[in-house]
Copies of this chain bind each other. A is one copy, B any other.
Amino acid sequence: MKLDSQQLARVAALFRAFAEPTRLAILQELKSDELAVSEIVDRLTTSQANVSKQLKLLHDAGVVSRRKSGTTVFYTIADPMVFELCRLVCDKLNRDAVKPSKIRF
């Protein structure tokens, strides 16, 4: 079964959501908790505007969900596949590493 170019583009787009350190950092913070945008901003070292932008990207990709309460917006990981994906990738990096320094999302 071969994917056509349009389907490959959709697959690539979903992978791209995970292909930036800042977005991974956001997902890492969301791993344990549902968090407000401002809480994520506090935990990272980038601007509120950038966090909002990356959250929108993750949301458009279906990776996170939003919940609005008053003026604050809470985000959660929308699909547990995120954890499986990151586990697969970390496992591979650990296998490939010369020096054994385990990383795990």
Interface residues of A (CB under 8 A from B): 1-3, 5, 7-16, 18-21, 23-25, 28, 62, 79, 81, 84-86, 88-93, 95-96, 103-105
Contact = CB atoms under 8 A, between A and B. Distances in A.
Kindly list the 3 A-B residue pairs having the minimum CB-CB distance in the complex, ordered from nearest. Answer: A16-B19, A15-B19, A15-B18
A90 B103 CA distance: 25
Contact of A84 (B21, B28, B88, B90): B88
Contacts of A20: 12
Contact of A11 (B8, B84, B90): B90
Contacts of A12: 18-21, 23-24
Given A62-B96, A92-B81, A24 B11 contact: yes
